Every structure is written in structure tokens, then in C-alpha cells.
Amino acid sequence: MSVQTKLQPGTGTGTLTSRLADTLRRAIAAGQFATGGKLPSEAQLSEAHGVSRTVVREAIAALRADRLVEARQGAGVFVLDAPPTTGPASLFLQDVDPVRVSSMIELLELRTAVEVEAAGLAALRRSPAQEEVIIERHYAVRACLNAGVSSVEADFALHLAIAEATNNPRFREFLAIIGRNVIPRGALRNDDSEQDQSAYIAMLDNEHDDIVIAISNGDEEGAREAMRRHLRGSQARYRTLLREQRGPVR
């Protein structure tokens, strides 16, 4: 199978994952990959775009979250029909404004109710392969944080991997409906000192580490508590911003 797309040269701080995901989205939208058709293999995409297989897996996870593709065990990754513009899913959270601090707090509270349980179930039900993906995505977030580039795609992929490890498809579908806007973007302010930013990055990495270790150890309650601390910590950081800023976080 020939690969008809090519990763575009990077601009700004976009990660390889986000750039590859955008390239594949454009290819799907342009009809280069037909509905029901199979995407090139992980190895083919890796070679064609000059990226690692981990980057390819993260990009495919982003497409799956957008309901653009689905993975079929033993067969590959296939393009889905375009998401419907009407129906219950399109009406869900339709008035949420992801650039407003108050909307992010609302989403974080909703996520806490769902993802705390997802973490506990992932600790109980994950397969070795799913555990490996969770760990890989944790390291991908860490790499973005250390490089000082956007970690939104990688962070979303980590939470999606945890949802998938519940082996209950409704958790993944919930995150897919909300989309990557569930990942906080404004927790670092432009006027924060370099020391403040470094402390925030270390704290975020430690929170993820606690979640991943608990899941890997099969610690159901530990995983729930680590996810609860992580999401409630994000809520607290956004409430601080809400008190300090009058306008939306952009």
C-alpha cells in the first residue's frame, strides 16, 4: 500500500505527534483514505514520515479520539464515516467554551467523576499490552514537558490509554466526545517565573507518575486516589486563575 501523505515541516511548537495527526486528518478529509479503507501500517507510516512508531501510535490515538478511525484487532486501523453533525453526541456539552476558565473547571469536575473510576478499573483490568501503551504515553508527556512544547496531544493520549485499559468502551467514548479540550491549557501564566514553570512541570509529571505506577502495580484504590489528586489539583489551579483573571484564558 502506498502512503500518499507526507508530514509537513514543523512550525511553532507543535509536536511531531500533533503534526502527524493533523497531516492524517487532512488526508482523510481530502479522501486520500476512503471511508472503510485501511490506513498504512504503523511501520509504513513511521518510515514515510520519518518518525518513531511511538509517534505514529500517539497520532493514531488522537484520530481514534476524534472518531475518525478505529482499530480492529489483527486487521489494522480503518477510516470511519464522518461524525454526524446532529444527534445526542453533537448536543453533548455544546455550550462549553474551552477557552474560559469557568468552562474548564466544569469539565474537570465532570472528568473527575468519570476518570477516577476509570483509573481504578484500569488497574484491575489492563492487559500487558495496554499497560505498555500507558507507560509509553506517560513518557511521551514527559518528553513534551521537558522540551517545553505543547503536551496537549500527548496528555490526552495518556488519559485515553487509561480509559481504553478499563476494557469498557464507554469510558473511551466519553473522552472522545469531549475531545482534547479536556486537557487544561492555561495552568501556566505568561508572567510565571522560570522557577514557577519548572515547579509546575515537575508537579504535573509526578502526578502522572503516581497514576501510572498505581495502575501498573494493580493498585485499584491507589490509582483512583492518584487520579483524584491529579484532577482536583487541576481544578484548584484553575480556580486560582479564575480569581486572578477577569477574561478568558487563551
Backbone angles phi, psi at 9, to 5 degrees: -55, 140
Q: How many domains would you assign to the chain?
A: 2
Beta bridge partners of 72: 76
Rounded Cα gap, residues 196 and 194, in angstroms: 5
Residues 150, 225, single domain; the answer is yes
Residues 31, 100, single domain; the answer is no
Residues 131, 214, single domain; the answer is yes
Cell numbers at 143, concatenated: 518528553
Residues 57, 92, single domain; the answer is no
Residues 51, 109, single domain; the answer is no
In the block, residue with C-alpha cell 522540551: 147
pLDDT in tens, 125-140: 999 999 999 999 999 9
Q: The domain spanning residue 176 has which CATH number?
A: 1.20.120.530
| 227 three-class SS | helix
Residues 70, 95, single domain; the answer is no
Rounded Cα gap, residues 91 and 75, in angstroms: 33
pLDDT in tens, 142-157: 998 888 887 888 888 8
Residues 71, 92, single domain; the answer is no
Residues 24, 118, single domain; the answer is no
Nearest Cα neighbor of 4 from 62, 53, 44, 55 is 44
pTM: 0.64
The whole domain housing 204 covers: 88-246
Asked which of 62, 79, 96 is the last residue of a domain, the reply is 79
Residue 11 lies in a domain: no
Residues 127, 24, single domain; the answer is no
Beta bridge partners of 71: 77
Residues 64, 117, single domain; the answer is no
pLDDT in tens, 81-93: 765 544 444 445 5
198 pLDDT tier (thresholds 50, 70, 90): confident
In the block, residue with C-alpha cell 498505581: 214
Residue 42 lies in a domain: yes
Reported residue count of the chain is 250
Residue 1 lies in a domain: no
Determine the longest span between alpha carbons in the chain, in angstroms: 55
Most confident of 115-129, 152-166, 176-190: 115-129
Q: The domain spanning residue 22 has which CATH number?
A: 1.10.10.10
Residues 41, 119, single domain; the answer is no
Residue 10 lies in a domain: no
Residue 3 lies in a domain: no
Q: Is 217 exposed, middle or buried (0-12, 13-18, 19+ CB in 10 A)?
A: exposed
Q: Are 154 and 17 in contact (CB under 8 A)?
A: yes
Report the Cα 148 to chain-centroid distance in Å. Answer: 17
Residues 121, 210, single domain; the answer is yes
Asked which of 34, 50, 79 is the last residue of a domain, the reply is 79
